[in-house]
Amino acid sequence: MSRGFIYLMQAEGATRIKIGYSGDPVARMAVLQIGSPCELTLLGKWPADPEHERHVHEALRGYRCHGEWFEVSPDVAISIIQSALNTTFEPLSIGRPLRISKGRHLSLEEMKEAPVGLLRLEIAKICVDAGLADNGEVLAEAEMLAMDPDPQPEKIVELWNRLRGEKNELDN
């Protein structure tokens, strides 16, 4: 029985692909996005067990750049993943590639009804909008909030309001 997913992720403007395992690839992307200067896109996911990640990474060893990042096209990566997982299944549909982009934020009322994965995406969106790639202290706080198993919407709103205030002070 599968407990999670092998996922395929790419950073905007980069040719490298991240291939990893997570029980919740969307939440994993949200946590990674907080510290990334590039916008990340979730390209696909396959049901898998944790030990499958080792098989996939072994099959991709010739493309490894660093850690779970590989210099390989998405099409080649998909083919190798399918072979390593011994499946012909295409990645589970996630609609269009999922990315965290600037724009409208959830209201406090919407956050109170949102699942944890969506709250983590909201935290990542806040960091992207505030341009936090070089603010280590705030990034650490945002990462802690995103890794909380039950992030509180009020704390997310508080973080956003504080960051907007700091950004406005810098812009003036």
pLDDT single digits (tens) 10-39: 888 888 999 999 988 888 888 888 878 888
Starting at the earlier edge strand, list the strands of the sheet with 4-11.
Answer: 64-66, 69-71, 16-22, 4-11, 40-48, 98-99
- What pLDDT shows up at residue 67? 92
Q: By C-alpha distance, which of 118, 87, 122 is closest to 105?
A: 122
- What pLDDT shows up at residue 101? 54
Q: By C-alpha distance, which of 105, 59, 107, 62 is closest to 83?
A: 59
Q: Which residue has the higher pLDDT, 65 or 167?
A: 65
8 A C-beta contact, residue 69 and residue 18: yes
First to last CA, the chain: 55
Distance CA 164, CA 170 (A): 10
Q: What is the pTM of this model?
A: 0.59
Task: Give per-residue pLDDT as tens, 94-112.
Answer: 444 455 555 667 777 777 7
8 A C-beta contact, residue 142 and residue 123: yes
Q: Judge whether residue 77 has pLDDT over 50.
A: yes
- Looking at 43-57, 87-101, 121-135, which range is the least confident one? 87-101
Torsion angle of C-alpha atoms 161, 167, 168, 172, degrees rounded to 10: 170
Mean pLDDT, range 65-80, rounded to an integer:
90
- What pLDDT shows up at residue 1? 47
Query: Which contiguous run of DSSP H or E holds residue 164?
Result: helix 153-171
Q: Percentage of residues in the chain with pLDDT exceeding 90?
A: 17
- What pLDDT shows up at residue 68? 94
